[in-house]
Chains A and B, each alone.
Chain A
Amino acid sequence: MSKKMDIIELLHENSRLTDKQISIITGLSEDEVKDIIKNLEEEKVLLKYSTLVNWEKTEREVVRALIDVRITPQQGQGFNAIAERIGQYEEVKSVSLISGGYDLSVEVEGKTMKEIAIFVAERLAPIDGVLSTTTHFILKRYKQDGVFFTDGPEDNRLVVTP
Protein backbone atom coordinates (compact mmCIF):
# COMPACT_ATOMS: atom_id res chain seq x y z
CA MET A 1 0.00 0.00 0.00
CA SER A 2 1.20 3.51 -0.73
CA LYS A 3 2.34 6.08 1.81
CA LYS A 4 -0.60 8.15 0.62
CA MET A 5 -2.99 5.43 1.78
CA ASP A 6 -1.09 5.17 5.05
CA ILE A 7 -1.66 8.86 5.70
CA ILE A 8 -5.35 8.64 4.81
CA GLU A 9 -5.81 5.71 7.17
CA LEU A 10 -3.91 7.38 10.00
CA LEU A 11 -5.98 10.56 9.71
CA HIS A 12 -9.16 8.57 9.36
CA GLU A 13 -8.32 6.89 12.65
CA ASN A 14 -7.19 10.07 14.41
CA SER A 15 -7.48 13.40 12.66
CA ARG A 16 -5.66 15.20 15.46
CA LEU A 17 -2.32 13.62 14.54
CA THR A 18 0.12 16.39 13.71
CA ASP A 19 2.17 16.44 10.52
CA LYS A 20 5.19 15.72 12.67
CA GLN A 21 3.58 12.69 14.31
CA ILE A 22 2.52 11.37 10.91
CA SER A 23 6.02 11.84 9.60
CA ILE A 24 7.43 9.81 12.50
CA ILE A 25 4.89 7.02 12.08
CA THR A 26 5.27 6.71 8.31
CA GLY A 27 8.98 7.43 8.07
CA LEU A 28 8.35 10.28 5.58
CA SER A 29 9.74 13.78 6.08
CA GLU A 30 7.44 16.39 7.52
CA ASP A 31 7.47 18.31 4.22
CA GLU A 32 6.47 15.21 2.28
CA VAL A 33 3.58 14.67 4.68
CA LYS A 34 2.45 18.29 4.28
CA ASP A 35 2.57 17.98 0.48
CA ILE A 36 0.63 14.74 0.38
CA ILE A 37 -2.07 16.07 2.70
CA LYS A 38 -2.35 19.29 0.70
CA ASN A 39 -2.84 17.27 -2.49
CA LEU A 40 -5.40 15.04 -0.87
CA GLU A 41 -7.33 18.08 0.27
CA GLU A 42 -7.19 19.63 -3.18
CA GLU A 43 -8.36 16.42 -4.79
CA LYS A 44 -11.22 16.36 -2.27
CA VAL A 45 -10.12 12.99 -0.94
CA LEU A 46 -9.85 14.51 2.51
CA LEU A 47 -13.02 16.54 2.97
CA LYS A 48 -13.21 17.41 6.63
CA TYR A 49 -11.45 16.63 9.92
CA SER A 50 -14.23 15.70 12.28
CA THR A 51 -14.68 14.07 15.64
CA LEU A 52 -16.84 11.17 16.64
CA VAL A 53 -18.95 12.38 19.56
CA ASN A 54 -21.12 10.41 21.91
CA TRP A 55 -23.83 13.08 22.16
CA GLU A 56 -25.70 11.13 24.78
CA LYS A 57 -23.02 12.09 27.23
CA THR A 58 -23.31 15.80 26.46
CA GLU A 59 -25.94 18.35 27.41
CA ARG A 60 -27.02 18.66 23.81
CA GLU A 61 -30.20 16.74 23.08
CA VAL A 62 -29.96 14.92 19.82
CA VAL A 63 -32.30 12.53 18.10
CA ARG A 64 -31.33 10.82 14.90
CA ALA A 65 -33.47 8.86 12.49
CA LEU A 66 -32.82 6.77 9.44
CA ILE A 67 -35.43 7.37 6.78
CA ASP A 68 -36.06 4.98 3.92
CA VAL A 69 -37.15 7.00 0.91
CA ARG A 70 -38.64 5.60 -2.27
CA ILE A 71 -38.41 7.95 -5.23
CA THR A 72 -39.16 8.07 -8.95
CA PRO A 73 -35.97 8.49 -10.95
CA GLN A 74 -36.05 11.55 -13.19
CA GLN A 75 -35.46 11.66 -16.92
CA GLY A 76 -31.75 12.04 -17.64
CA GLN A 77 -30.82 12.56 -13.99
CA GLY A 78 -31.68 9.25 -12.40
CA PHE A 79 -31.71 9.58 -8.61
CA ASN A 80 -29.09 12.30 -8.36
CA ALA A 81 -31.26 15.40 -8.61
CA ILE A 82 -33.63 14.36 -5.82
CA ALA A 83 -30.81 13.04 -3.66
CA GLU A 84 -28.99 16.34 -3.92
CA ARG A 85 -32.14 18.29 -3.26
CA ILE A 86 -32.79 16.29 -0.08
CA GLY A 87 -29.21 16.79 0.94
CA GLN A 88 -29.62 20.59 0.91
CA TYR A 89 -31.46 20.54 4.22
CA GLU A 90 -29.33 21.24 7.24
CA GLU A 91 -31.17 18.57 9.22
CA VAL A 92 -30.01 15.91 6.76
CA LYS A 93 -26.66 14.46 7.83
CA SER A 94 -26.24 11.85 5.13
CA VAL A 95 -27.92 10.71 1.95
CA SER A 96 -27.04 7.43 0.25
CA LEU A 97 -28.42 5.58 -2.73
CA ILE A 98 -28.89 1.98 -1.71
CA SER A 99 -29.89 -1.32 -3.21
CA GLY A 100 -32.94 -3.26 -2.06
CA GLY A 101 -36.54 -2.39 -1.29
CA TYR A 102 -36.19 1.39 -1.35
CA ASP A 103 -33.88 3.91 -2.99
CA LEU A 104 -32.38 6.44 -0.59
CA SER A 105 -31.32 6.12 3.01
CA VAL A 106 -31.42 9.53 4.67
CA GLU A 107 -30.06 10.22 8.13
CA VAL A 108 -31.75 13.14 9.82
CA GLU A 109 -30.88 14.91 13.05
CA GLY A 110 -33.19 16.92 15.27
CA LYS A 111 -33.71 17.89 18.90
CA THR A 112 -36.80 15.77 19.44
CA MET A 113 -38.68 12.98 17.72
CA LYS A 114 -41.46 15.42 17.01
CA GLU A 115 -39.10 17.79 15.25
CA ILE A 116 -37.96 15.00 12.96
CA ALA A 117 -41.50 13.82 12.32
CA ILE A 118 -42.47 17.34 11.29
CA PHE A 119 -39.41 17.63 9.07
CA VAL A 120 -40.33 14.44 7.27
CA ALA A 121 -44.01 15.37 6.90
CA GLU A 122 -43.50 18.97 5.84
CA ARG A 123 -40.17 19.00 4.01
CA LEU A 124 -39.19 15.56 2.82
CA ALA A 125 -42.39 13.80 1.87
CA PRO A 126 -43.85 16.63 -0.25
CA ILE A 127 -40.82 16.79 -2.58
CA ASP A 128 -41.82 15.97 -6.16
CA GLY A 129 -40.75 12.43 -7.01
CA VAL A 130 -40.74 11.18 -3.42
CA LEU A 131 -43.13 8.22 -3.37
CA SER A 132 -42.93 7.20 0.26
CA THR A 133 -40.95 7.55 3.49
CA THR A 134 -40.45 5.24 6.43
CA THR A 135 -38.87 6.70 9.56
CA HIS A 136 -36.76 4.63 11.97
CA PHE A 137 -35.58 6.44 15.08
CA ILE A 138 -32.17 5.44 16.34
CA LEU A 139 -32.57 4.38 19.95
CA LYS A 140 -29.06 3.43 20.90
CA ARG A 141 -25.74 3.40 19.13
CA TYR A 142 -23.42 0.52 19.78
CA LYS A 143 -20.67 1.15 17.27
CA GLN A 144 -19.92 3.77 14.67
CA ASP A 145 -16.95 4.16 12.32
CA GLY A 146 -15.32 1.21 14.00
CA VAL A 147 -15.61 2.64 17.52
CA PHE A 148 -17.72 1.12 20.29
CA PHE A 149 -20.02 3.50 22.15
CA THR A 150 -20.60 0.94 24.82
CA ASP A 151 -17.60 -0.58 26.57
CA GLY A 152 -16.86 -2.94 23.70
CA PRO A 153 -14.39 -5.80 23.84
CA GLU A 154 -11.82 -5.59 26.62
CA ASP A 155 -8.10 -6.17 26.49
CA ASN A 156 -8.03 -9.63 28.02
CA ARG A 157 -4.30 -9.96 28.07
CA LEU A 158 -2.48 -10.28 31.37
CA VAL A 159 -0.87 -7.01 32.38
CA VAL A 160 2.69 -8.29 32.28
CA THR A 161 3.87 -11.37 30.38
CA PRO A 162 7.28 -12.55 29.23
Chain B
Amino acid sequence: MIEDKYISDIVKNIPPSGIRKFFDLVTNSRDIISLGVGEPDFVTPWTIRKEGIDVLDRGTTTYTSNLGLFELRKAISFFLKNHYDLDYNPEREIMITVGASEAIDLALRCLLNNGDEVLVPVPSYVSYAPCIELTRGVPVYVPTEEKNNFIITPADLKSKITNKTKALILPYPNNPTGAIMKKEDLEAIKDIIIEHDLIVISDEIYSELTYDGKHVSIASLPGMKERTILLNGFSKAFAMTGWRLGYIAAEHGFIEAMNKIHQYTTICAPIMAQYAGIKAIYECEEDIEKMRKTYDQRRRFIVNGFREIGFDCFEPKGAFYIFPSIKKTGLTSQEFCERLLKEEKIAVVPGDAFGPGGDGYIRVSYAYSIDKIMKALERIERFAKKIF
Protein backbone atom coordinates (compact mmCIF):
# COMPACT_ATOMS: atom_id res chain seq x y z
CA MET B 1 0.00 0.00 0.00
CA ILE B 2 1.54 3.26 -1.14
CA GLU B 3 -0.04 5.23 1.71
CA ASP B 4 2.10 3.26 4.14
CA LYS B 5 5.14 5.43 3.67
CA TYR B 6 3.21 8.50 4.81
CA ILE B 7 1.71 7.00 7.94
CA SER B 8 3.47 7.75 11.19
CA ASP B 9 5.55 5.04 12.83
CA ILE B 10 3.58 5.30 16.01
CA VAL B 11 0.32 4.47 14.29
CA LYS B 12 1.90 1.78 12.16
CA ASN B 13 3.31 0.08 15.22
CA ILE B 14 0.02 -0.15 17.06
CA PRO B 15 -1.38 -3.64 16.57
CA PRO B 16 -5.01 -3.86 15.46
CA SER B 17 -7.40 -4.88 18.21
CA GLY B 18 -7.74 -8.63 18.75
CA ILE B 19 -11.47 -8.08 18.76
CA ARG B 20 -11.35 -6.52 15.33
CA LYS B 21 -9.76 -9.66 13.92
CA PHE B 22 -12.46 -11.81 15.41
CA PHE B 23 -15.13 -9.36 14.32
CA ASP B 24 -14.17 -9.87 10.67
CA LEU B 25 -14.48 -13.60 11.09
CA VAL B 26 -17.92 -13.25 12.65
CA THR B 27 -19.24 -10.86 10.04
CA ASN B 28 -18.79 -13.53 7.41
CA SER B 29 -20.86 -16.12 9.26
CA ARG B 30 -24.63 -16.45 9.35
CA ASP B 31 -27.31 -17.37 11.92
CA ILE B 32 -25.03 -16.63 14.77
CA ILE B 33 -26.01 -16.30 18.39
CA SER B 34 -23.64 -13.68 19.67
CA LEU B 35 -22.60 -13.36 23.29
CA GLY B 36 -19.83 -11.06 22.20
CA VAL B 37 -21.24 -7.62 22.67
CA GLY B 38 -19.92 -5.00 25.06
CA GLU B 39 -23.03 -2.87 25.29
CA PRO B 40 -26.44 -3.16 26.97
CA ASP B 41 -29.28 -4.91 25.15
CA PHE B 42 -31.68 -2.36 26.64
CA VAL B 43 -32.78 0.62 24.64
CA THR B 44 -32.14 3.97 26.32
CA PRO B 45 -35.05 4.61 28.75
CA TRP B 46 -37.89 6.54 27.11
CA THR B 47 -37.62 9.63 29.35
CA ILE B 48 -34.09 10.15 28.10
CA ARG B 49 -34.93 9.54 24.44
CA LYS B 50 -37.84 11.95 24.73
CA GLU B 51 -35.54 14.67 26.05
CA GLY B 52 -33.26 14.13 23.06
CA ILE B 53 -36.23 14.60 20.74
CA ASP B 54 -37.44 17.68 22.64
CA VAL B 55 -34.02 19.29 22.47
CA LEU B 56 -34.06 18.92 18.68
CA ASP B 57 -37.65 20.14 18.61
CA ARG B 58 -36.65 23.32 20.43
CA GLY B 59 -33.94 23.84 17.85
CA THR B 60 -31.17 23.56 20.44
CA THR B 61 -28.37 22.55 18.15
CA THR B 62 -25.36 24.64 19.16
CA TYR B 63 -21.99 23.99 20.78
CA THR B 64 -21.88 24.09 24.55
CA SER B 65 -19.04 25.43 26.66
CA ASN B 66 -15.95 23.23 26.44
CA LEU B 67 -16.48 21.84 29.91
CA GLY B 68 -20.09 21.02 29.03
CA LEU B 69 -23.46 22.34 30.20
CA PHE B 70 -23.25 23.60 33.75
CA GLU B 71 -26.61 21.99 34.55
CA LEU B 72 -25.21 18.61 33.55
CA ARG B 73 -22.04 19.10 35.56
CA LYS B 74 -24.22 20.00 38.54
CA ALA B 75 -26.26 16.85 37.98
CA ILE B 76 -23.08 14.75 37.84
CA SER B 77 -21.77 16.37 41.01
CA PHE B 78 -25.06 15.45 42.69
CA PHE B 79 -24.87 11.89 41.32
CA LEU B 80 -21.29 11.34 42.50
CA LYS B 81 -22.18 12.60 45.97
CA ASN B 82 -25.37 10.62 46.13
CA HIS B 83 -23.98 7.33 44.86
CA TYR B 84 -20.37 7.24 45.98
CA ASP B 85 -20.09 9.98 48.60
CA LEU B 86 -17.65 11.97 46.46
CA ASP B 87 -17.37 15.77 46.57
CA TYR B 88 -16.66 17.41 43.23
CA ASN B 89 -17.28 21.07 42.50
CA PRO B 90 -19.35 21.31 39.30
CA GLU B 91 -17.75 24.60 38.29
CA ARG B 92 -14.13 23.55 38.58
CA GLU B 93 -13.77 19.81 38.95
CA ILE B 94 -16.02 18.16 36.38
CA MET B 95 -15.91 18.12 32.57
CA ILE B 96 -18.09 16.41 29.98
CA THR B 97 -16.49 14.22 27.30
CA VAL B 98 -17.47 12.25 24.24
CA GLY B 99 -17.89 8.98 26.08
CA ALA B 100 -15.48 7.63 28.66
CA SER B 101 -13.31 6.75 25.65
CA GLU B 102 -12.35 10.36 25.08
CA ALA B 103 -11.84 10.66 28.82
CA ILE B 104 -9.21 7.88 28.77
CA ASP B 105 -7.34 9.65 25.99
CA LEU B 106 -7.51 13.06 27.70
CA ALA B 107 -6.30 11.74 31.04
CA LEU B 108 -3.30 10.04 29.44
CA ARG B 109 -2.39 12.97 27.22
CA CYS B 110 -2.61 15.39 30.09
CA LEU B 111 -0.23 13.32 32.21
CA LEU B 112 2.38 11.67 30.02
CA ASN B 113 5.75 12.82 28.81
CA ASN B 114 7.84 10.73 26.42
CA GLY B 115 8.71 7.42 28.03
CA ASP B 116 6.56 7.79 31.13
CA GLU B 117 5.30 4.44 32.30
CA VAL B 118 1.67 3.67 33.02
CA LEU B 119 0.62 0.57 34.89
CA VAL B 120 -2.18 -1.32 33.19
CA PRO B 121 -3.77 -4.25 34.99
CA VAL B 122 -4.60 -7.04 32.55
CA PRO B 123 -6.84 -8.56 31.36
CA SER B 124 -8.64 -5.29 30.78
CA TYR B 125 -10.38 -3.12 28.22
CA VAL B 126 -8.60 -2.98 24.88
CA SER B 127 -7.96 0.78 24.61
CA TYR B 128 -5.56 1.55 27.44
CA ALA B 129 -2.27 0.32 25.99
CA PRO B 130 -2.81 1.76 22.47
CA CYS B 131 -3.86 5.14 23.91
CA ILE B 132 -0.75 5.18 26.11
CA GLU B 133 1.42 4.39 23.09
CA LEU B 134 -0.23 7.10 21.00
CA THR B 135 0.81 9.53 23.74
CA ARG B 136 4.37 8.18 23.57
CA GLY B 137 4.09 6.67 27.00
CA VAL B 138 4.96 3.09 27.86
CA PRO B 139 2.30 0.66 29.01
CA VAL B 140 3.50 -1.69 31.72
CA TYR B 141 1.19 -4.62 32.23
CA VAL B 142 0.28 -5.74 35.70
CA PRO B 143 -1.11 -9.25 35.30
CA THR B 144 -3.99 -10.04 37.62
CA GLU B 145 -4.83 -13.59 38.47
CA GLU B 146 -7.96 -15.60 38.98
CA LYS B 147 -6.69 -16.90 42.32
CA ASN B 148 -6.64 -13.27 43.52
CA ASN B 149 -10.10 -12.61 42.08
CA PHE B 150 -8.47 -10.65 39.22
CA ILE B 151 -7.71 -7.64 41.44
CA ILE B 152 -4.37 -5.87 41.82
CA THR B 153 -2.58 -6.86 44.98
CA PRO B 154 0.02 -4.68 46.73
CA ALA B 155 2.71 -7.18 45.67
CA ASP B 156 1.64 -7.05 42.00
CA LEU B 157 1.75 -3.30 42.10
CA LYS B 158 5.12 -2.96 43.84
CA SER B 159 6.80 -5.38 41.48
CA LYS B 160 6.06 -3.19 38.46
CA ILE B 161 6.82 0.28 39.79
CA THR B 162 10.01 1.94 38.50
CA ASN B 163 11.26 5.51 38.75
CA LYS B 164 9.50 6.20 35.44
CA THR B 165 6.06 5.08 36.63
CA LYS B 166 3.68 7.98 36.56
CA ALA B 167 0.19 6.58 36.67
CA LEU B 168 -1.92 3.54 37.36
CA ILE B 169 -5.04 2.68 35.43
CA LEU B 170 -7.67 1.23 37.70
CA PRO B 171 -10.36 -0.42 35.56
CA TYR B 172 -12.93 -1.74 38.05
CA PRO B 173 -15.59 -3.12 37.76
CA ASN B 174 -13.56 -4.83 35.09
CA ASN B 175 -14.24 -5.63 31.48
CA PRO B 176 -13.65 -8.56 30.69
CA THR B 177 -13.27 -10.33 34.06
CA GLY B 178 -16.22 -8.83 35.96
CA ALA B 179 -13.92 -8.35 38.96
CA ILE B 180 -14.49 -5.50 41.38
CA MET B 181 -12.16 -3.96 43.94
CA LYS B 182 -13.80 -3.53 47.30
CA LYS B 183 -12.93 -0.83 49.79
CA GLU B 184 -10.43 -3.04 51.62
CA ASP B 185 -8.74 -4.01 48.33
CA LEU B 186 -8.34 -0.33 47.45
CA GLU B 187 -7.06 0.52 50.91
CA ALA B 188 -4.44 -2.19 50.54
CA ILE B 189 -2.82 -0.49 47.54
CA LYS B 190 -3.42 3.11 48.56
CA ASP B 191 -0.23 3.62 50.55
CA ILE B 192 1.94 2.29 47.72
CA ILE B 193 0.27 4.70 45.32
CA ILE B 194 0.93 7.63 47.64
CA GLU B 195 4.45 6.53 48.52
CA HIS B 196 5.41 6.37 44.84
CA ASP B 197 3.53 9.56 44.01
CA LEU B 198 1.38 7.93 41.33
CA ILE B 199 -1.73 9.33 39.72
CA VAL B 200 -4.68 6.95 39.43
CA ILE B 201 -6.80 6.98 36.30
CA SER B 202 -9.87 5.27 37.67
CA ASP B 203 -12.14 4.03 34.88
CA GLU B 204 -15.44 3.45 36.65
CA ILE B 205 -17.71 3.16 33.62
CA TYR B 206 -19.35 0.00 35.03
CA SER B 207 -19.73 1.42 38.56
CA GLU B 208 -23.52 1.18 38.57
CA LEU B 209 -23.36 -2.46 37.53
CA THR B 210 -22.03 -3.83 40.79
CA TYR B 211 -23.80 -6.83 42.28
CA ASP B 212 -22.06 -7.34 45.58
CA GLY B 213 -22.58 -4.29 47.75
CA LYS B 214 -22.13 -0.76 46.48
CA HIS B 215 -19.32 0.42 44.25
CA VAL B 216 -16.52 2.23 46.07
CA SER B 217 -14.39 4.76 44.22
CA ILE B 218 -10.72 5.02 45.15
CA ALA B 219 -11.22 8.80 45.12
CA SER B 220 -13.33 8.46 48.26
CA LEU B 221 -10.35 7.22 50.32
CA PRO B 222 -8.56 9.89 52.38
CA GLY B 223 -5.71 11.48 50.46
CA MET B 224 -6.76 9.95 47.14
CA LYS B 225 -9.06 12.52 45.57
CA GLU B 226 -6.13 14.80 44.78
CA ARG B 227 -4.31 12.04 42.91
CA THR B 228 -7.26 10.46 41.12
CA ILE B 229 -8.66 11.23 37.69
CA LEU B 230 -12.07 9.63 37.78
CA LEU B 231 -13.65 8.59 34.48
CA ASN B 232 -17.25 7.60 34.07
CA GLY B 233 -20.12 7.96 31.65
CA PHE B 234 -23.69 7.23 30.73
CA SER B 235 -23.21 4.31 28.33
CA LYS B 236 -23.51 1.33 30.63
CA ALA B 237 -25.61 2.54 33.56
CA PHE B 238 -28.23 4.29 31.44
CA ALA B 239 -27.91 2.17 28.28
CA MET B 240 -26.74 5.23 26.32
CA THR B 241 -23.79 3.89 24.33
CA GLY B 242 -24.71 5.58 21.06
CA TRP B 243 -25.13 9.00 22.68
CA ARG B 244 -21.40 9.18 23.39
CA LEU B 245 -21.59 10.90 26.75
CA GLY B 246 -18.93 10.59 29.42
CA TYR B 247 -17.29 12.72 32.07
CA ILE B 248 -14.18 13.29 34.13
CA ALA B 249 -14.02 14.35 37.76
CA ALA B 250 -10.66 15.50 39.06
CA GLU B 251 -8.76 18.33 40.77
CA HIS B 252 -9.12 21.66 39.01
CA GLY B 253 -5.56 21.68 37.66
CA PHE B 254 -6.10 18.38 35.87
CA ILE B 255 -9.46 19.46 34.51
CA GLU B 256 -7.94 22.66 33.18
CA ALA B 257 -5.16 20.76 31.44
CA MET B 258 -7.49 18.19 29.93
CA ASN B 259 -9.91 20.89 28.86
CA LYS B 260 -7.09 22.49 26.93
CA ILE B 261 -6.76 19.33 24.81
CA HIS B 262 -10.52 18.82 24.63
CA GLN B 263 -11.20 22.37 23.38
CA TYR B 264 -8.76 22.01 20.48
CA THR B 265 -9.62 18.44 19.49
CA THR B 266 -13.30 18.00 20.28
CA ILE B 267 -14.83 21.31 21.43
CA CYS B 268 -17.68 19.65 23.29
CA ALA B 269 -19.92 16.61 23.55
CA PRO B 270 -23.13 16.81 21.48
CA ILE B 271 -25.62 19.14 23.11
CA MET B 272 -28.58 16.77 22.64
CA ALA B 273 -26.76 14.06 24.55
CA GLN B 274 -25.83 16.52 27.29
CA TYR B 275 -29.42 17.60 27.90
CA ALA B 276 -30.55 13.99 27.81
CA GLY B 277 -27.90 13.20 30.42
CA ILE B 278 -29.45 15.69 32.86
CA LYS B 279 -32.78 13.87 32.58
CA ALA B 280 -31.02 10.54 33.00
CA ILE B 281 -29.54 11.54 36.33
CA TYR B 282 -32.59 13.17 37.85
CA GLU B 283 -35.34 10.93 36.52
CA CYS B 284 -34.01 7.48 35.74
CA GLU B 285 -32.84 5.97 39.04
CA GLU B 286 -35.59 3.39 38.77
CA ASP B 287 -34.53 2.38 35.28
CA ILE B 288 -30.94 1.83 36.42
CA GLU B 289 -32.17 -0.27 39.29
CA LYS B 290 -34.33 -2.40 37.03
CA MET B 291 -31.55 -2.99 34.52
CA ARG B 292 -29.06 -3.82 37.24
CA LYS B 293 -31.45 -6.37 38.67
CA THR B 294 -32.01 -7.99 35.30
CA TYR B 295 -28.25 -8.23 34.69
CA ASP B 296 -27.82 -9.74 38.13
CA GLN B 297 -30.39 -12.46 37.37
CA ARG B 298 -28.70 -13.29 34.10
CA ARG B 299 -25.30 -13.29 35.80
CA ARG B 300 -26.34 -15.97 38.25
CA PHE B 301 -27.96 -17.96 35.47
CA ILE B 302 -25.06 -17.91 33.03
CA VAL B 303 -22.36 -18.57 35.64
CA ASN B 304 -24.31 -21.58 36.80
CA GLY B 305 -24.84 -22.71 33.21
CA PHE B 306 -21.11 -22.65 32.42
CA ARG B 307 -20.23 -24.41 35.64
CA GLU B 308 -22.78 -27.13 35.04
CA ILE B 309 -21.35 -27.73 31.59
CA GLY B 310 -18.00 -28.23 33.29
CA PHE B 311 -16.14 -24.95 32.87
CA ASP B 312 -14.25 -23.36 35.75
CA CYS B 313 -15.92 -20.00 35.98
CA PHE B 314 -14.83 -17.10 38.15
CA GLU B 315 -17.80 -15.44 39.81
CA PRO B 316 -18.01 -11.89 38.44
CA LYS B 317 -19.25 -9.16 40.78
CA GLY B 318 -19.63 -6.33 38.29
CA ALA B 319 -20.08 -5.28 34.63
CA PHE B 320 -21.95 -7.74 32.36
CA TYR B 321 -19.38 -10.34 31.43
CA ILE B 322 -18.28 -13.71 32.64
CA PHE B 323 -14.72 -14.86 32.07
CA PRO B 324 -14.69 -18.65 32.18
CA SER B 325 -11.45 -20.57 31.93
CA ILE B 326 -11.04 -22.88 28.96
CA LYS B 327 -7.60 -24.09 30.03
CA LYS B 328 -8.65 -27.66 30.52
CA THR B 329 -9.69 -27.97 26.88
CA GLY B 330 -6.06 -27.58 25.86
CA LEU B 331 -7.11 -25.09 23.18
CA THR B 332 -5.93 -21.51 22.95
CA SER B 333 -8.59 -18.83 23.33
CA GLN B 334 -8.44 -18.09 19.62
CA GLU B 335 -8.80 -21.75 18.66
CA PHE B 336 -11.66 -22.23 21.09
CA CYS B 337 -13.56 -19.18 19.83
CA GLU B 338 -13.01 -19.97 16.17
CA ARG B 339 -14.19 -23.55 16.60
CA LEU B 340 -17.18 -22.52 18.71
CA LEU B 341 -18.11 -20.08 15.99
CA LYS B 342 -17.67 -22.55 13.15
CA GLU B 343 -19.16 -25.61 14.80
CA GLU B 344 -21.98 -24.14 16.86
CA LYS B 345 -22.36 -20.60 15.55
CA ILE B 346 -21.78 -18.93 18.89
CA ALA B 347 -19.70 -15.77 19.03
CA VAL B 348 -17.73 -15.00 22.19
CA VAL B 349 -14.50 -13.04 22.49
CA PRO B 350 -11.09 -14.70 22.98
CA GLY B 351 -9.57 -13.70 26.31
CA ASP B 352 -6.19 -12.80 24.82
CA ALA B 353 -7.82 -9.80 23.10
CA PHE B 354 -7.74 -8.19 26.56
CA GLY B 355 -4.00 -8.38 27.02
CA PRO B 356 -1.45 -10.84 28.30
CA GLY B 357 -2.90 -13.26 30.83
CA GLY B 358 -6.19 -13.40 28.96
CA ASP B 359 -5.26 -16.50 27.00
CA GLY B 360 -6.98 -19.56 28.39
CA TYR B 361 -10.15 -17.57 28.98
CA ILE B 362 -13.10 -16.36 26.95
CA ARG B 363 -15.26 -13.32 27.52
CA VAL B 364 -18.97 -14.05 27.42
CA SER B 365 -21.39 -11.16 27.64
CA TYR B 366 -24.72 -11.47 29.39
CA ALA B 367 -26.22 -8.36 27.89
CA TYR B 368 -28.78 -10.74 26.37
CA SER B 369 -32.17 -12.11 27.43
CA ILE B 370 -32.29 -15.27 29.52
CA ASP B 371 -34.02 -16.98 26.61
CA LYS B 372 -31.13 -16.23 24.33
CA ILE B 373 -28.60 -17.23 26.95
CA MET B 374 -30.44 -20.53 27.39
CA LYS B 375 -30.28 -21.27 23.68
CA ALA B 376 -26.62 -20.37 23.55
CA LEU B 377 -25.84 -22.57 26.56
CA GLU B 378 -27.37 -25.57 24.79
CA ARG B 379 -25.02 -25.11 21.87
CA ILE B 380 -22.04 -24.48 24.10
CA GLU B 381 -22.78 -27.66 26.01
CA ARG B 382 -22.91 -29.65 22.78
CA PHE B 383 -19.56 -28.16 21.82
CA ALA B 384 -18.05 -28.82 25.23
CA LYS B 385 -18.98 -32.50 25.05
CA LYS B 386 -16.79 -32.80 21.98
CA ILE B 387 -13.73 -31.17 23.45
CA PHE B 388 -13.66 -32.02 27.17
Contact = CB atoms under 8 A, between A and B. Distances in A.
Interface of A: 1, 6, 10, 14, 21, 24-27, 155, 157-162
B300 interface: yes
A27 B297 CA distance: 8
A24 B19 contact: no
Contact of A159 (B23, B125, B175, B371): B23
4 closest A-B pairs by beta carbon, nearest first, are A160-B36, A159-B34, A161-B38, A25-B297
B285 to A, nearest CB: 14
Interface in B265-302: 293, 297-298, 300-301
Interface residues of B, number: 28
B251 to A, nearest CB: 29
B300 A160 contact: no
A1 B38 CA distance: 28
A159 B25 CA distance: 11
Contacts, number: 54
Interface string B62-86: 0000000000000000000000000
B33 to A, nearest CB: 10
Given A159-B347, A160-B19, A160-B22, A25 B300 contact: yes
Nearest to A161: B38
A24 B298 CA distance: 9
Consensus secondary structure, chain A interface: loop
B41 interface: yes
B37 A161 contact: yes
Given A25-B370, A162-B126, A157 B37 contact: yes
A159 B32 contact: yes
9 contacts: A6-B297, A14-B370, A26-B297, A155-B41, A158-B23, A159-B32, A159-B34, A159-B36, A160-B19
Given A24-B301, A25-B370, A159 B17 contact: no
Interface string B150-175: 00000000000000000000000001
Interface in B1-57: 17, 19, 22-23, 26-27, 32, 34, 36-39, 41
A158 B353 CA distance: 17
Contacts of B120: none
A32 to B, nearest CB: 14
A10 B37 CA distance: 24
A155 B37 CA distance: 11
Contacts of B175: 162
Given A159-B32, A160-B347, A27 B371 contact: no
B127 interface: yes
Contacts of A21: 301
B210 to A, nearest CB: 16
A22 B125 CA distance: 32
B349 interface: yes
Contact of B37 (A24, A26, A27, A159): A159
A1 B296 CA distance: 14
B297 A160 contact: no
Given A159-B27, A161-B39, 10 more contacts: A10-B297, A25-B300, A25-B370, A155-B41, A158-B37, A159-B34, A159-B347, A160-B347, A161-B36, A161-B37
Nearest to A160: B36
B254 to A, nearest CB: 26
Interface string B305-316: 000000000000
Contacts of B263: none
A63 B125 CA distance: 54
Contacts of A24: 300-301, 304
Given A25-B300, A160-B349, A161-B36, A14 B371 contact: yes
A158 B126 CA distance: 17
Interface string B341-368: 0000001010001000000000000000
A161 B300 contact: no
Interface in B83-128: 125-127
Contact of A161 (B19, B41, B304, B370): B19
Nearest to B305: A24
A10 B293 CA distance: 12
Contacts of B297: 6, 10, 25-26
